[in-house]
Amino acid sequence: MIPLWLIPLFPLLGAIILGIISLASSDSQKGAPEFLLGFIGLLFPLLSFMAVLSLSFGGANTPIQETLGTWIDISFLQIQFGFLFDSLSKMMLLFVTGIGSLITWYSIGYMKHDRGFARFFAYMNFFLFSMIILVLADSLPLTFLGWEGVGLCSYLLIGFWHKDSQNAIAGNKAFIVNRVGDIGFLIAMLVLLSVGGSAFLSYEGLNAGLAGLSQAELVKIIPALALAAFFFFFGCTGKSAQIPLLTWLPDAMAGPTPVSALIHAATMVTSGVYLLARLSNLFVLVPSVLSIVLWIGLLTAFWAAVAGLFQNDIKKVLAYSTISQLGFMFMAAGVAAFDVAIFHVFTHAFFKAALFLGAGAVIHSLSGEQDMRKMGGLIQKMPITAIVMLFGFFAIIGFPGFAGFWSKDLILEKLFEFGAMGPYLYAFALLTAVLTAVYMGRLIIMTFFGSYRGSLEKSESIHDPSFSMLVPMLILTIGSAFAGYLWATLIPGANWFEQTLAPVLSSAQNHIHVQSVIHLSPLVFALVGTVAAFFGLFLAWFIFNRPVPLSKDSSDPKGFGASWTFLWDTIHQWTSVFLVKMASWFMSVVVNHFVLFVQWLLVGIVEILSDGARAIQVRKVRLQMGLSFVGILFVILIVYVYGGAV
Amino acid sequence: MELHASYIQILALALFAIGIAVALTRRNVFFVLMGVELSLNAVNLSFIGFAKTLAFEASIAGQIVPLFTIAIAAAEACVGLAMIILIFRSQDSMDIDNYSNMKG
């Protein structure tokens, strides 16, 4: 049996080795050979993937718990440093390490001839390490360690090309917005600690503690649990880019495209959904927080889908589609269908990575052009990339048979069955699904159909990417076509995914019983979903299949599109940023002047006193020594006379 | 012949008085420093003298404290001499009464 600590150790080793190489070669003009660096950078994620594979399919199907030692041991807090490998972390690890390895492989081709090659792969390995720690941890504080680690790596990778200040600003924004969410995570941990002691901070202890509570005890601590759940969810909105902390993700597209694929589509943003599933036993006890999760998910999905319609930058469209899909995952979690949420995380990882890598290939061959208005007709020049993107596209809109079809239909079905409100939720989500097809159709049409609108001298050099980039893209394409069959509701017996997750999530999901008002067969949902996808597709075709006017201005949206896109930026500007600015004004004007006044007062007193003291100085060394001796004698005399009782 | 403890104290007191007198009366800065050292050692002697009056276990502290004092005095002498050399270079004088120009 492979010890669990090997899984995070491999990428950590890779990060250390590559980091040392990067530092050592920072003075040389050329840097270390890229072939070797790429090999090291890919080897360690692959080794870790192999370890996960052999643990998942080689051993017994029981959860493995491994404690490495005591991490924190003080009177009110005892935390063990340990890993937990159950079916939930297994599913997450499979695609985190698997897709992580594929994207690292792709990056070897994408980052070729970049001077920061070694640094890039060191960051990528460190990111995978943090993500594995996040998923594999058996306690909340250790998860928080990984949670912070992915935030740090996201900052480093978004600002990877830091010579352009825009990229550095985007990195800062991602980091700061994430920190706001992290405060929620910290507060929630403190609340749990104060409710149940340090036992509540480990997942097993939390589940056992919540299950062991009597009804009377439960009623007493429900408000505290609701507070904890709410703040955990607030932390999730930061990491998973939900309302209100979602503004960082579109800006994060400033990083290299493989980074966007890895961090902001396939792995890091899913950690919020993972945390909800991991704490499912806590969340089902407080349905009020779950309904907040549901509504935030619904609103985020809808808002981001509309915002996706206005973008001209190919990566920005994908960024908003990620936010929208994450909204779908939160909807599923909000109706306590945590396994469905994780299933959508799983399929989304495949098709979103495929879409991003395809977009990266397009950007790469157009030498950095991201504006879709300067693309078009690329299906003839880069057919394989077009096929990859089309497969990802069919998966995301829910084309029958593709991965997204199964997972999105499951989410819609669960929404419909959620009590009397269900059909309305279903309709709202279905509208968002139609919008998904429209904006994604717009992306495909503007990029691959019509005629090429870019500058002509480039058009001969446009071609499919090299072999090393194509292979991972094709593997992901296969995934986005077939990953859905792991839980296909229409095919009897094809529910491996549900069965695998059942040991971890079923107790929570059985806790909430909401009777659906109308019973429909899954076939109806599949049919409606298919109609929605086709309707959106045709809508996109009718609206967008026409010549796009040439434009030289920036790719940012304008007019209503701009105010919709930057709605949350504006709200942040007027609320939190404004408050911080007010506080800093108060600090700099009122508090600062008060401190200056106190300082001036003290200095004045000290100067007066010191002038007085200086006047009695005699400036003779021997005389002063003699005086101090006399003083000591005087003290001794007093002590002698009064017997030291003074 | 057993040395009476009070004799040691008298000797220590005499040494201390001589040290203080030297420090206060001599104008040469080296003699001032030597006077200070002498009174320090007088105190050490006093410690040992009192330690002698106690039982063996209880006298350990009285014997150890002088060791610390000697170590600290060595360091203090080191710093003091270095400072005196520097002051001598800038003042061209050994007279401690001349060292009074640090006027505030």
In a domain, B98, yes or no: no
In a domain, B80, yes or no: yes
Q: Is the pLDDT of residue A514 over 70?
A: no
| Contact criterion met (CB < 8 Å) for B103 and A619 | yes
Q: Is the pLDDT of residue A517 over 70?
A: no
- How many Å apart are CA A216 and CA A424, to the nearest integer? 35
Kindly report the CATH number assigned to the domain that includes residue B19. 1.10.287.3510
| Contact criterion met (CB < 8 Å) for A620 and B100 | yes
pLDDT in tens, A578-603: 999 999 999 999 999 999 999 999 99
| Contact criterion met (CB < 8 Å) for A621 and B100 | yes
pLDDT in tens, A220-266: 889 999 999 999 999 999 999 998 888 899 888 888 999 999 888 88
For an interface test with B, the pick among A622, A623, A628, A632 (most B C-beta atoms closer than 10 Å) comes out as: A622
| Contact criterion met (CB < 8 Å) for A622 and B104 | no
Residue A500 has a pLDDT of 85
Q: Give the pLDDT band of residue B104 (cuts 50, 70, 90).
A: very low
| Contact criterion met (CB < 8 Å) for B97 and A614 | no
**Residue whose structure tokens are 């006077």:** B35
For an interface test with A, the pick among B22, B24, B25 (most A C-beta atoms closer than 10 Å) comes out as: B24
Which residues share a beta bridge with B28?
Answer: B95
Answer for the pair A143, A509: CB distance below 8 angstroms, yes or no: no
Angle between helices A117-136 and A6-24 (to 10 degrees): 160
- Write out the residues of chain B at the interface with chain A, using a CB-CB cutoff of 8 A: 20, 23-25, 27, 32, 96-97, 99-100, 102-104
Which residues of chain B are within 8 Å of residue A626 when distances are taken between CB atoms?
24
Nearest CA in chain B to A607: B104
In a domain, B100, yes or no: no
Which residues of chain A are within 8 Å of residue B97 when distances are taken between CB atoms?
620-622
The larger pLDDT score, comparing residue A452 to residue A138, is at A138
In a domain, B102, yes or no: no
Q: Is the peptide bond before A45 cis (omega within 30 degrees of 0)?
A: no
The larger pLDDT score, comparing residue A461 to residue A375, is at A375
Residue type, B33: L
Helical H segments across A454-521, by residue range: 467-482, 496-509
In a domain, B85, yes or no: yes
| Contact criterion met (CB < 8 Å) for B97 and A620 | yes
DSSP A97-146: HHHHHHHHHHHHHHTTT-TTHHHHHHHHHHHHHHHHHHHHBSBHHHHHHH
* Nearest CA-CA distance, residue A610 and chain B, Å: 10
**Would strands A77-85 and A64-74 be described as parallel, antiparallel, or unpaired?**
antiparallel
| Contact criterion met (CB < 8 Å) for A621 and B97 | yes
User: What average pLDDT does range A322-335 have in this prediction?
Assistant: 93
| B99: nearest CB among A614, A621, A625 | A621
- Write out the residues of chain A at the interface with chain B, using a CB-CB cutoff of 8 A: 610, 614, 617, 619-622, 625-626, 629
Which residues of chain B are within 8 Å of residue A622 when distances are taken between CB atoms?
23-25, 27, 32, 96-97
HSE-CB of A99 using CA atoms within 13 angstroms: 38
Q: Is the pLDDT of residue A612 over 80?
A: yes
Q: Is the pLDDT of residue A300 over 50?
A: yes
Q: Is the pLDDT of residue A381 over 90?
A: no
> How far are the Cα atoms of A136, A364, A398, B33, B36 from residue B17, in angstroms, in the given order?
76, 92, 102, 15, 10
| Contact criterion met (CB < 8 Å) for B100 and A626 | no
> What ipTM was predicted for this assembly?
0.78
Q: Residues A440, A120, A369, A154: is their CA dihedral positive or negative?
A: positive
Write down the mean pLDDT value for chain B. 87
Which residues of chain B are within 8 Å of residue A629 when distances are taken between CB atoms?
20, 24
User: What average pLDDT does range A458-486 have in this prediction?
Assistant: 85
Query: How many structural domains comprise chain B?
Result: 1
In a domain, B97, yes or no: no
User: What average pLDDT does range A194-216 have in this prediction?
Assistant: 87
Which residues of chain A are within 8 Å of residue B20 when distances are taken between CB atoms?
629
* Residue-range domain boundaries for chain A: 286-565, 572-642
* Nearest CA-CA distance, residue A618 and chain B, Å: 9
| Contact criterion met (CB < 8 Å) for B32 and A620 | no
| Contact criterion met (CB < 8 Å) for B104 and A614 | yes
Q: Give the pLDDT band of residue A215 (cuts 50, 70, 90).
A: confident
Structure tokens at A70: 């005591």
- Can you give the residue range of the structural domain that contains B48? 5-92
| B100: nearest CB among A610, A614, A619 | A619
In a domain, B20, yes or no: yes
Q: Give the pLDDT band of residue A327 (cuts 50, 70, 90).
A: very high
Which residues of chain B are within 8 Å of residue A625 when distances are taken between CB atoms?
23-24, 32
In a domain, B51, yes or no: yes
Residue A646 has a pLDDT of 52
**Chain-centre distance for alpha carbon A318:** 15
| Contact criterion met (CB < 8 Å) for A629 and B20 | yes
